[in-house]
Structure 1
Amino acid sequence: MINLAELGIYKVRLPLPFKLDHVNCYAIRGGQGWCIVDAGLNYGPAREAWLDFMKSQGIKPGDVTGIYLTHYHPDHYGAAGWLQELTGAPVYMSSLDAAMVTKVWMRSRQDREVIGSMFRENGVPAELTELIMAGLDEMLALVRPHPRLTVVDDGQEVGLGDYRWQVVLTPGHSDGHICFYLEGHGLLLSGDHLLPGISSNISLWPYAHPDPLDNFLTSLEKSAGLNIQMALPAHGECFSNVRERVGELQLHHRERLQLVKRVAAGGATAYQVCRKVFGDRLSLHEIRFAMTETLAHLVYLKKRGELQVRKSGDVYIYAA
């Protein structure tokens, strides 16, 4: 069993105000100071958790030498600016997701309309679309202030603690999602790419990759080829059955694709498919994820000729 404490790796579990109520960030101690992997959401309980952890370990703000982000989603990126202001440390992220920060978190009114149009054109009722968009607007306050970003990319080595870790690009959950791989010890800081108990949300969004599920399935194959003895995920507990978990996720998406195809076969909007697949007892937060994941599966099927899409009035209809 790998002893994380001997390698200077500490899991920092931060609260989230969602059904998925936590995110695991990691603090890594080395001879030159501490590195942080993922920042959490910028709201009071998460900031308090960071300050409590730093106090418990005797970490002064200046001891933090780098903040590394697996991707741009708010529960990973949100407090990065606050941590940078506190510590003065550089914040690192992939170039792809650094671009998404600009497009999503610094978006203009026009960008907001593009996102709203995507929901409406795929069958989401106008009132529900406005509620979803209002929820996205509320998220903007939880990712400010924005940090100054330094880019790292696939294959690059970075110093986390006393070891050199490889940056591994694993697109799917986001276009520029990165993991950090310590080959000699078989460790992977897996972010949201590999999770033990739930499947990563794979979503289609404007401005992002047009086939995110294909990206994710390719990234799973890439992960299976690494010698990973333990994955340190952003949600849930660390786990060692990585190849088995990759197989489970591949099977999950094969089954989900078949279900989506059956539901859409006779003709349906993405929203109708979403309600059939995910049910109708979802929160606004969950509806947003369910809709964009449904779209990712529909687009995957369309690109492979298993479904067709046409526009009927103002909405798109998928069918076999």
Structure 2
Amino acid sequence: MKIRGIPSFSSEPAHQAPQHEMKAGNINMIAKVFDGIYRIPVNLPRNPLRVLNSYFIRGRGDERNLLIDTGFNMDECRSDLRDGLRELNADVSKTDLYLTHMHSDHSGLAADFGAAGAHILMGKTDYSLQQNYRHDKTWRECFPEYVGLGASDEEMEAIMASTPAWKYISPPFRAELLQDGDSLFYGGYQFTCISTPGHTPGHLCLYNAANRLMFLGDHVLFDITPNITCWPGVEDSLGDYLESLRKIAAYDVRIPLPGHRTTRGMSMAARVEQLLAHHEKRLEETHSILVRRPQQTCYETASQMSWKIRAKSWADFPPAQKMFALGEAKSHLDYLVHKGKARCVPGPGGHWLYSAV
């Protein structure tokens, strides 16, 4: 598939990089990150991620603009994005929207842009998942992968009621569905969609080879670690993520553009190596917990894992953070089972029990 802004440019020279690129000091300011490409900070209130990096690609002549990711379906995010586009003199009616993945901090305002006439571009897999998240459904209907992890129904209700993925979703919207290898043409640039499942099953990075520039979404973050959780119908999401990291490492990327925070001056290759090493250590930790005591639920395992969070104990975890921890523990347990280093059997109350092999 090839999707072009109008008029489109079939070939492109390598553009000269600007003298200033994204640094830690300007995280809350609009920044030019490349010729015709800008970062718009969108604050995420009461969220540890703090800010979403939305990116704006200015169309040439009568060509349409492209915005990458939006922030939550919240008035504060809506205001930040509106103000940023106004500062860039961007015509929203001539702006399309690319969503790197389904999470609400990236897709929450999609319906707003659809109503304004934007073509919304999104991976097929994540679009299907995103459209299943509805407030008129129970947590078991929206998040079946969390059934049987060991938490009580009452705790799961509290967890789901507080998670941003549930609270700040976009209303339904139509999208043009993308897949690996599809090309987009905006701002005089040719971009290629790169399938990077793991953080979500249908996560898509966007790569411009001529200038070695990549929009990373949440596939690679530089001063925080992307949450790798469990998904319905996915046997080994962590395995998918590690494979996607190795896949992306083969690309020549000089300008990595993450969905949150900054690169802190680190190269993409160096960060990929760090992330691979991080998950290797997490897998060792998870396996050692099962060695110490077999027949544990995911909930019990997660409560013994180390987490960088300001909470005195597992019982003190904020509900939304407990959801992320449960999902991450499950993804590491699934990986161990997939590799034959752990086994999973049904236990009392419909909960799954894990033991080391």
Is the pair's TM-score, using the shorter chain for normalization, greater than 0.5? yes
Choose which of 35, 43, 53 in structure 2 pairs with 1:15: 43
Determine if the alignment matches structure 1 residue 214 to structure 2 residue 214.
Answer: no
Counterpart residue number, 1:91:
120
Higher relative contact order (CA 8 A, sep 6+): 2
Choose which of 252, 258, 263 in structure 2 pairs with 1:233: 258
Superimposed CA distance per residue, residues 113-153 of structure 1 (whole angstroms, 9 cap, x where no aligned partner): 256775452211332112113225x7545223322111111
Aligned partners of 1:218 and 1:293: how far apart in 2?
A: 17
Determine if the alignment matches structure 1 residue 269 to structure 2 residue 297.
Answer: yes
8 Å Cα contact 2:215-2:257 kept in structure 1: yes
- Aligned-residue RMSD, C-alpha: 2.0
8 Å Cα contact 1:40-1:46 kept in structure 2: yes
Aligned partners of 2:303 and 2:166: how far apart in 1?
A: 27
Aligned partners of 1:145 and 1:119: how far apart in 2?
A: 23
Instruction: Report the secondary structure of 1:11's partner residue.
Output: strand
Q: More helix per residue: 1 or 2? A: 1
Superimposed CA distance per residue, residues 145-191 of structure 1 (whole angstroms, 9 cap, x where no aligned partner): 32211111111110132101111010000000000001111111000
8 Å Cα contact 1:231-1:240 kept in structure 2: no
Q: CA deviation at 1:214?
A: 0.7
Aligned partners of 1:233 and 1:116: how far apart in 2?
A: 27
Choose which of 98, 105, 124 in structure 2 pairs with 1:75: 105
Instruction: Report the secondary structure of 1:121's partner residue.
Output: coil
Superimposed CA distance per residue, residues 16-55 of structure 1 (whole angstroms, 9 cap, x where no aligned partner): 1312211111011120242101111111111111111122
Aligned partners of 1:168 and 1:295: how far apart in 2?
A: 26
Unaligned runs of 5+ in 2: 1-15, 22-31, 308-312
8 Å Cα contact 1:29-1:162 kept in structure 2: no
Counterpart residue number, 1:196:
222
Aligned partners of 1:186 and 1:198: how far apart in 2?
A: 23
Q: CA deviation at 1:60?
A: 2.3
Alignment CA distance shift 1:42-1:114 (3 Å): closer
Aligned partners of 1:46 and 1:304: how far apart in 2?
A: 41
8 Å Cα contact 2:140-2:147 kept in structure 1: no
Instruction: Report the secondary structure of 1:143's partner residue.
Output: coil
Aligned partners of 2:140 and 2:106: how far apart in 1?
A: 25
Aligned partners of 1:2 and 1:59: how far apart in 2?
A: 22
Alignment CA distance shift 1:139-1:57 (3 Å): same
TM superposition score normalised by structure 2: 0.83
Counterpart residue number, 1:288:
323
Question: Pairwise mapping of residues 159-198 of structure 1 onto structure 2 (< 5 A)?
Answer: 159-198=185-224
Question: Pairwise mapping of residues 301-320 of structure 1 onto structure 2 (< 5 A)?
Answer: 301-314=336-349, 315-320=351-356
Determine if the alignment matches structure 1 residue 146 to structure 2 residue 182.
Answer: no
8 Å Cα contact 1:39-1:79 kept in structure 2: yes
Amino acid at match of 1:112: W
Unaligned runs of 5+ in 1: none
Choose which of 38, 49, 62 in structure 1 pairs with 2:93: 62
- The count of residues paired between Structure 1 and Structure 2 equals 314
Instruction: Report the secondary structure of 1:185's partner residue.
Output: coil
Instruction: Report the secondary structure of 2:239's partner residue.
Output: helix
8 Å Cα contact 1:116-1:130 kept in structure 2: no
Aligned partners of 1:231 and 1:215: how far apart in 2?
A: 21
Alignment CA distance shift 1:175-1:107 (3 Å): farther
Choose which of 87, 99, 102 in structure 1 pairs with 2:131: 102
Alignment CA distance shift 1:213-1:118 (3 Å): closer
TM superposition score normalised by structure 1: 0.92
Instruction: Report the secondary structure of 1:308's partner residue.
Output: strand
